[in-house]
Amino acid sequence: MENDTWEVKLLTFPLRQVPDSSYTILQSNTQCNLMHWAALFRNSRGDVLVLEGLRHGRMLVPNISNWFDTERVRSEVLLGHIESNEYCIMHIGNKQRAAPYDVIQSNCQTYVINVLHEFGIDVPGHIRTFGYR
């Protein structure tokens, strides 16, 4: 794994647009500064690493998930928000109750890259940003 180069993409959209029922508790929690994010990375062999966590205030709580095969990630995690064969970091939150968009984007992106570096994973310096602003 140490010798692999990993691809990463960034996608952002408001929490209310996420159709997955597993996010219900986050959608109903309007009293705190809470957001959910997940980072999906693909290497040259087609392996996918999922890193996900909650950001509550200034605290970022990471959780290294299991390895997923490509079809499962595409069908169960991405929910049709991006085209096939694209993997991404997702920031999901209510813009009015969360930190400014650019602050969240920068903090989470830097944090995820630092975590991956600790695992010996090389992440390209350029990360494309598109979607919700």
The 10s digit of each residue's pLDDT in 58-86 is 323 333 333 333 333 333 333 323 333 33
Examine the pLDDT at 110 and tell me if it is beyond 50. yes
pLDDT category of residue 118 using cuts at 50, 70 and 90:
low
Judge contact between 46 and 54, C-beta under 8 A: no
CA 52 – CA 89 distance, rounded (Å): 9
Long-range (24+ apart) CB contacts under 8 A made by 57-65 are 57/32, 57/33, 60/107, 60/108, 60/111, 62/111, 62/115
